[in-house]
Chain A
Amino acid sequence: MSFQPIKFYQTGTFTVGNRLLAPEERSVQASDKRYNSINSGHRACQGCGEALGARYAIDAAMEATQGQLICANATGCLEVFSTPYPETSWQIPWVHSLFGNTAAVATGIAAALKVKQKKGERNPAIRVVAQGGDGGTTDIGFGCLSGMFERNDDVLYICYDNGGYMNTGVQRSSATPPAARTATTMAVGSEPGNAFGQGKFVPAIAMAHEIPYVATATVADLRDLEAKVSRAMELRGARYIHILVPCPLGWGTASSETIKIARLAKETGLFPVFSAEYGEQKSALAIRQKLPVEDYLRPQKRYAHLFGKQPDVQVIAKLQALADRNIRKYNLLEGL
């Protein structure tokens, strides 16, 4: 396990905090002194999973480095909603360069720090994170990401995966799941929505680079997410965390259901939550109550075409097969 869940309290470690827990057992987000690395006033949509995921992850990294963090950010929703002139939501040193070069920018920062720290010109505790959406990570930024991985540069790269190009109006990315409707995979024709047999799961590709740390997480399991960031910051070299962040706008879900949808993604097995070190799987966050994929799909308008007058049982079965494969492959029922 990536963290020791606490049992037999009202809520164990499922809630953000718990007044019954010892202070050292509490989450970063439970603290009234948390960093709020991304501040109020940002322009993310109501219920934005990415805004939430970014604060969870960056605050955890800030906690791990005691505030000695520099962040590089890819173009995308997160960048646009957080830094429209004349206001920024970031309370940490932050740079946005381009859509597809964030991993490389972070490499440059890490290289600069290494030299400066060796010369004694900068605090030796300063570390680097890079972050971007799935488009900026799995598509346009993938070359730079892979380069950063293979060189094992001392960067934690965090991908906030909402399964598409949401900033430009919900187009397909290589992280868009099969059958999902996007503006470029419309729910029309004989095979509505995104095609099966396409796309890529970057955490697995990251593992193939045999970098020190690869993990997935969702905004629904805060403690797991924080533990993963914390573990990542214990290690040096290239690290990758892929966080599922539901997008109410792009997925067609109620703004209040962001966390619930992420939870369903994990509980159905469609999104495997695990970690790996040096290319080998180390942990799996066990499914608590296995649910059929339908429970995850049905509340999302991007899958509405699967639930017309007659549910499209064939497509649903194919998606269920994908979930079942994840469950087998990553040991999601037993957990690790």
Chain B
Amino acid sequence: MLKQMEGSRAVAEAIALCRPEVICAYPISPQTHIVEALGEMVKDATLGDCEYINVESEFAAMSVAIGASAAGARSYTATASQGLLYMVEAVYNASGLGLPIVMTVANRAIGAPINIWNDHSDSLSQRDSGWLQLFAETNQEALDLHIQAFKLAEELSLPIMVCMDGFILTHAYERVDMPTQQQVDQYLPPYEPRQVLDPAEPVSIGAMVGPEAFMEVRYLAHAKQMQALERIPQLAEEFQAVFGRDSGGLIRSYRTEDAETIIIAMGSVLGTIKDTVDAMREQGHKIGVLGITSFRPFPYAAVAAALKDCQRFVVLEKSLAVGGGGIVATDVRLACTGMGLQGHTVIAGLGGRAITVKSLTALFEKACAGELELNTFLDLDWKAVNKQLEREKQVRRSGPIAENLLRDAGVVAARNY
């Protein structure tokens, strides 16, 4: 059923269709609207047989989800940014214990400086946490991925983050095709836990494991993610069979058939990139797009196959491994080791910096011309940066960077009185 609604609401309704049994909620922007909507649905009983827990922190949110999942309940929570970082210990624990929790991450930058706008720093910081990470390009895909995520998580007994860009998706009103309960029930069977806390068959979950078995435990977690690489495309196909919609999968190629240059990205920015690429195609540029949906597990083989006929690729990512460079780019480069491709990393849109068609066009044209540097910081204000660097060179007490930059930019509130 087609509906015009906010992305958060769409996700909340999709979650409700998945019949969650325990939802833990702690407010943090830009995720809050999702749990607000779910809270209302539980309270007015449209979402029945579900416990909605207002926890005291994200750490508790993930911990409650751990307990609920271990006791055999389908468990859900949502977070973002600082909230994700606050729950990190429990995030690792949930995957370590193999608990199929589904969590929405409404991607947002990490402070300091505190910043509520979108980038991918938060979920990418959890790259090695053992969770699967699926990135949504649109609200429709965000909605669909949650349904697929429950199925995949419970099959594998592994937790999954469904990542959607904060504000850009969560707060955007778009038309979505909301599935029916019947469709979801047809696709998603009831949760059959691999292990459960039950007096009828007692087990001890969460033993202390020493050097004699720890590596095997870690390898098994890895092996499961490798299994997911096979299951994710199958689940997308099964999804299409029930819902009539192509959604999910590992990667998604766009106009790459004869492309010499392929732009690689995750999340909502793919829309802008596709618009830019469409325009450039009309001008005769041989350029295409590769969207990565599954960041973890990383589909090395699929990416390599998608890039096999191009000459160069540009990874445009909303994350920065400070002191290193790109994060997604590192994986992409690893995927096409030995293929002789020219690779570029573009760090863009950190902390919500707008990524415009104009900037992208200039960037891609430079890339097509073979003139793009290895690492690019898109639309970086070099003047401000250099001024601060100069200031630091001269004055030991050069003051706070963010305020200095704002002052240089003429923001009144940051003026020195």
Contact = CB atoms under 8 A, between A and B. Distances in A.
A115 B49 contact: yes
A109 B65 CA distance: 9
Interface stretch (B54-62, B137-145, B230-238): B54-62
A101 B199 contact: no
Nearest to B24: A108
Contact of A115 (B56, B73, B207): B73
Report, as a range, how many residues of chain A touch the other chain.
35 or more
- Which 8 pairs, one residue from A and one from B, show the smallest C-beta to C-beta distance? A108-B67, A112-B73, A147-B56, A96-B206, A104-B63, A101-B63, A112-B71, A105-B67
Interface in B51-86: 51, 53-57, 59-60, 62-73, 75
A93 B203 contact: yes
Contact of A97 (B49, B97, B213): B97
Nearest to B217: A85
B202 A115 contact: no
Contacts of A67: 199
Nearest to A126: B199
Contacts of B72: 112, 116, 121-122
B197 interface: yes
B301 to A, nearest CB: 34
B205 interface: yes
Contact of B56 (A72, A80, A146): A146
Contacts of A249: none
Contacts of B54: 151
Interface residues of B, number: 46
A79 interface: yes
A264 B51 CA distance: 45
B208 A95 contact: no
B36 to A, nearest CB: 18
B197 to A, nearest CB: 4
B51 A112 contact: yes
27 contacts: A72-B67, A79-B206, A80-B208, A83-B206, A92-B199, A93-B199, A93-B202, A94-B205, A96-B207, A98-B90, A98-B93, A105-B67, A105-B70, A108-B64, A108-B75, A109-B71, A109-B197, A111-B64, A111-B73, A112-B67, A115-B51, A116-B72, A122-B198, A144-B56, A144-B59, A147-B60, A151-B54
B89 interface: yes
Interface of A: 67-70, 72-73, 79-80, 82-86, 88, 90-98, 100-101, 104-116, 118-119, 121-123, 126, 143-144, 146-147, 150-151, 153
B174 interface: no
B68 A95 contact: no
A118 B49 contact: yes
Contacts of A86: 207, 213
Contacts of B89: 98, 100-101
Interface in B370-410: none
Given A84-B208, A98-B63, A108 B70 contact: yes
Contacts of A70: 71, 197-199
Interface centre among A109, A112, A113, A122 (most CB of B within 10 A): A112
Nearest to A114: B51
Contact of A108 (B50, B66, B93): B66
Nearest to B70: A95
A119 to B, nearest CB: 6
A97 B94 CA distance: 8
Contacts of B199: 67-70, 92-93, 123, 126
B213 A85 contact: yes
A202 to B, nearest CB: 16
Contact of A85 (B66, B201, B208): B208
B283 interface: no
A17 B75 CA distance: 45
Contacts of A144: 56-57, 59-60, 63
Nearest to A106: B67
Nearest to A125: B199
A177 to B, nearest CB: 28
B352 to A, nearest CB: 30
A96 to B, nearest CB: 3
